[in-house]
Structure formats: C-alpha cells, structure tokens
A and B are shown apart, each in its own frame.
Chain A
C-alpha cells in the first residue's frame, strides 16, 4: 500500500501545474445544460407538474431535484472514470508505463492513489455544479445524510471497479476516446441518472442492473429524495459486491493488457 500516498501527491502536483480546464468546462457545461433543459421543460411544457408515471416510479414529484442529483452523479462518474481509467493509458502515452511496470509497486495501490486524488478534485467540481443549479432555482434536500455518505463511498467503489477493466481495454486497444465516450453515453442511458430506469425496455434495464453505478445511484436517491422507497442496505451490498467483482476482473485482465501495450510500443 506504500504506493497510494506518493501517487496521490504526484497527481496533485500535476493537477496544480496543469489543470485540465477544458475537460472541467466541458463536463460542467454538460451537467448544467442538462439541468437547464429539465428546468425549462418543467416550467414551459409541464407547467410545474410531472406525469403520474414519474411520481409512481420515484415516490415523489421532485423532477428538478431528481434530474439535478442525477446530472451531478453523472458528472462525478464521468470525471472519476476520466481520471482512473485513463491513468495507465496516459502513462503509456507519456512514455512512463515501462518505468511503472519496472517498479515493485503493485497495481491496486497505484490505482487507489489515483482514485483518492481524483475524488478530492471531483467533489469540488460537483459542488460547483450543484451550487450553480441551486443558483438557477433548483431546490435540493438531503433527508438522510448518513445515506449520502454511504452513497459517496458506494459510488467511489463502483467507479473504481468499472474503471479498472476499462483501463485494461484502453491499454489493449491503444485508444481511449471511443471507449470512454461509448461508456459515458451507455451509462447515461442504462443507469437512470436523469430518469427512472423503469422507463427503459426490459433488456436495457437488465443491462443497467449489472452496472454497480446503477446501485450506487439508488443509495443516492434514498439520501436525496424524500419519498424514495429504496432498501439502502441491500442496494449498498449489491453495489459493493458488483464493484468488487468488476475490480477483480479488471486486476486479472490488466497484466495481459499491459503486456500487449508494451509489445505494441516495442514494435513501433
């Protein structure tokens, strides 16, 4: 575990020297404009009311709160995946992957260091998004603060779990742009960030159930929606189990992916 702290410190140094403003503005704009569309549609088309199907699915009629929390959760997931899943392909592109593989440090502590550093910056970015949404007139409530803490922990495990296999895919394919954006758009559809998953066709819904982020979102709904009927302990357990399973698969397929990346750079 000795590699956690040095990785954390190194990534903070990199962030302070060259903060990726373009990424930040891009993800913030996406989140904020999603909230903006919901706000305008709610006022101009819904007349301040929502469909009965929404109330039945969520246990309340707080559409704006629902979309805002979902948009913030999507921003969180996107940013965390960008940091954690891209950590190793970035090392590869910058030419430091070989040095990383030569060190005696294990992969998990390295990835935990990246995750912790990503968490510190992402929480601030999501807070900016939520503050902007509140300034636009969205009212947010946290009826269950304990569940919120649990949701944040669950979401971090879920994102770490999904990022590690993704990192292996990126390394093996030598490509990040298509892989990451396909994952982001698919997650936005399958996990129910901005609408209840009950709206989806059955096949898509089942795909979503297999993603740990979907379960982390359920815990988050319990923490932020007054009428939500979520069994928090079981949602949390499923999220952690799925996250751990993804992580285990990721750590298992990472070494062959690294070898493949090295062979490719050796041939080039």
Chain B
C-alpha cells in the first residue's frame, strides 16, 4: 500500500509539473468554459423566456437561477473534462517513447492511472476557488440544507471523477488513436449528462446512456445539494448509484490495464502511434 501511495504521489507530481502554470490550462479550464457558458445561456434564453416555461421548469422563470443551473453544469463538466485532457496527455507518453519504460518499472499500474487523474484534479482546485467567488457574489442563489452538504457535493464530484480518470487512462494508454476518443468524449459527454439541459428534457434513451457516465449523477448531487437545498436522504439514490459506478470504473480500469498490458507484451505495440 505504501508503495502504491508513493507511485500515486510521484505521478501526480509529474502531472503537476507538466501541466500547471501552462497557458493551455488557464484557457481550457477557465476562459473557454466561461465563454461557452455564456453562449449556452443566451442560446436557451429565447426558450426559457417563452410563455408558461416557468410552469414546466421552475428554474426557467428566473434568468439568474438559470445561469446558476448552467454554471453548476459547466463546473462539473470542466472538472470531468480536465480528466479527459489529463488522460489524453498521458497517452503522449506513447509518442514520447516513455510508455514502455513506465511499463517496465515495477510501479502498480492502477496506482499510476489513479495518480495521473488525482494530480489533474488537485491542480484544478483553483477552479473551485473561481466558482466559490462567483457563488459568493450571488449568495442568494445558493440553497444549502446544512454546511455538511458542501462536503457531500465535493466528494460526489471528486471520487467518481478520479475513478473516471483512472478508467479513461487505462483506455487511452492502449489506444493508438487517442485523439478520436478525446473527440468522442468531449461533446457527447455534456449532452447525455444534462450539463446544459434539465434531465427531464432529455429523451429516455439519452437518459439511459447518461446514467452510465458518473458526471450525470455527480451533477444531480451537486445541483441538488447547492441549488435545491436537498438533504442526503433525498439524494440517496444518485449517491448509491455513484458509489456503484465508482467501484465499477475502478474494476474496469484494473481489468483493462491487465488485458491491455498482456496484449501489448504480445504484439509489442507500446511504441507504435
């Protein structure tokens, strides 16, 4: 266990050194999401301002609540997307020729992918800082049942995100066309997870697909606990589902790593891209 923790810490540190302070991080984690949030807000405004829209969806009646709803979505999405980006960067090890060296070391593979995701998340803590400042300036929009719900919201975002990162990493490490997966997981992810729309507006099949992604349930918990004043008991179902998904993702990551490594050892494909 101690060995695994050291691998996690070392990989997280490496990731931090590689990415932190890079202009790309500021643009992709803050500037682009804020601009995109504004575009989404203005695009749905003609519909949420329609007669009787407030009766169908309470949030639609108040533009500030709508913005808070979309901002929570943008925050959670950016948080998860940072893992997609981190995993994508990890796949560059293949191009740099260091992936084989990583697999020759005795480091635990699962610890490695967990460390990569955890590193990405730790360095995105400032993103929460920005959100907190924005939330404080509109404190009347936050409806929190009790202070403990902040912890619930944060954990419901953090733990499944780390599992998601581990899963993506294990997938991308063994894929030679990582750019394609990166594209696949960018736009469709926000669509099925209800980032820009309330879940009731989505067709049943999209909701079913969305359930497979932890972002969907994390977002239900985040919005419920910060914007709707929900208590743990009311969020029990999404929390339980998140716990199950997290375990499932870790198990899938471990399985994929084992299978992928065995296959790479047989085909010698770790250096190909």
Contact = CB atoms under 8 A, between A and B. Distances in A.
Interface of A: 21-22, 25-26, 29-30, 33-34, 36-38, 40-47, 49-54, 63, 67, 177-178, 181-182, 185-186, 188-189, 194-195, 199-200
B39 A63 contact: no
Majority SS at the chain A contact face: helix
Contacts of A47: 50, 52-53, 56
7 contacts: A38-B44, A44-B57, A50-B50, A51-B46, A54-B49, A181-B32, A189-B38
B197 interface: yes
Given A33-B187, A33-B188, A63 B35 contact: no
Contacts, number: 125
Contacts of A200: 42
Contacts of B43: 34, 37-38, 67, 194-195
B27 interface: yes
B197 A41 contact: yes
A148 B60 CA distance: 35
Majority SS at the chain B contact face: helix
B125 to A, nearest CB: 22
B32 A185 contact: yes
Nearest to A63: B46
B210 to A, nearest CB: 13
Interface in B192-246: 196-198, 200-203
Interface residues of B, number: 43
Given A33-B187, A37-B44, A54-B46, A189 B202 contact: no
B271 interface: no
Interface stretch (B152-160, B178-186, B247-255): B178-186
A51 B187 contact: no
A63 B198 CA distance: 19
B23 interface: yes
Q: Which of A37, A52, A53 gathers the greatest number of chain B CB atoms within 10 Å? A: A37
